[in-house]
Amino acid sequence: MADRVKFIAGNWKMFKDIEGAKEFADAFLKLNRPAGIKVAVCAPFLQLTTLVDAFAGTGIGVGAQNVHFEDSGAFTGEIAVPMLKEVGVDYCIIGHSERREYFGETDETVNKKLKKLFNTSDIIPILCVGEKLDEREAGVQQDIVSAQLEKDLAGLDADTVKELVIAYEPIWAIGTGKTATPDQAQEMCAFIRGKLASMYDQATADAVIIQYGGSVKPGNAKDIIGKPDIDGALVGGASLDPEGFTSLIAAAAE
């Protein structure tokens, strides 16, 4: 099994202005974080420069939450990969369920965005997959995630996919306080790894960092991230407070 580094990424969604991002960074940098665990904060576009500057030289990564799949063009309101490169971000969330649900993101656009990021930058995509509540209740969650992976990763080769971060986020657990049990999360993350092994090979599957996301908090992080196929978390609400996020990271590192 590959030695995967644990990786905790915050997803601020549409929270915090520039002043709020500065305050977070000042407080966060004063707190002690365990070594040997990767940390990143994915912020709204306008707050990225502030965080890139604040976290320069600290090892803390900065991520965007979306990007367009063309380099430039008449796409009002969009942001392109070269623009993210210019700002100096390390990561970009792709295919978050909120973008799939409210902003017309499809597996096809997700696939184009992954290709653009991999082909033209060294920004690491954090690809989100996951099922809705009715799909979980119907017992088809693995079919849903399997189909997402096939479409989202179409045309990407093993060497590329090795660099990817995948976040398994059951939609019914996002922002609801309803977390998947550690066993449910482990079951799906192991399924995803098995699916990658069948699409590519075992070495590729073993290299991919697979996070769980959905109501991860300081109190449940240790049990979830302690599971063998769960390498970290994508954290929404609990990433907004520097002290809380730090204790979550500490719990995950245990």
Has 187 been annotated as catalytic? Answer: no
Segments in the chain forming alpha helices (H)? 18-30, 48-55, 81-87, 97-102, 107-120, 133-137, 141-152, 158-161, 182-199, 202-207, 221-225, 242-253
Complex with ligand PGA: residue 149 or 213, whichever CB lies closer: 213
Least distance (Å) between residue 171 CB and ligand PGA: 9
Residue 149 φ then ψ, to 5°: -65, -40
Answer positive or negative: Cα dihedral of 100, 134, 126, 159.
negative
Residue with smallest beta-carbon separation from ligand PGA: 236
Complex with ligand PGA: residue 11 or 204, whichever CB lies closer: 11
Q: What's the rounded Cα separation, in Å, for the pair 80 and 200?
A: 29
Least distance (Å) between residue 82 CB and ligand PGA: 26
Are residues 167 and 234 in contact, defined by beta-carbon separation less than 8 angstroms? yes
Least distance (Å) between residue 246 CB and ligand PGA: 16
Least distance (Å) between residue 168 CB and ligand PGA: 11
Q: What's the rounded Cα separation, in Å, for the pair 102 and 116?
A: 22
* Set 68, 96, 98, 131: catalytic member: 96
Complex with ligand PGA: residue 230 or 234, whichever CB lies closer: 234
Complex with ligand PGA: residue 80 or 209, whichever CB lies closer: 209
Has 96 been annotated as catalytic? Answer: yes
Instruction: Return residues touching ligand PGA (CB under 6 A).
Output: 11, 169, 174-175, 213-216, 234-238
Residues with a catalytic annotation lie at 96, 169
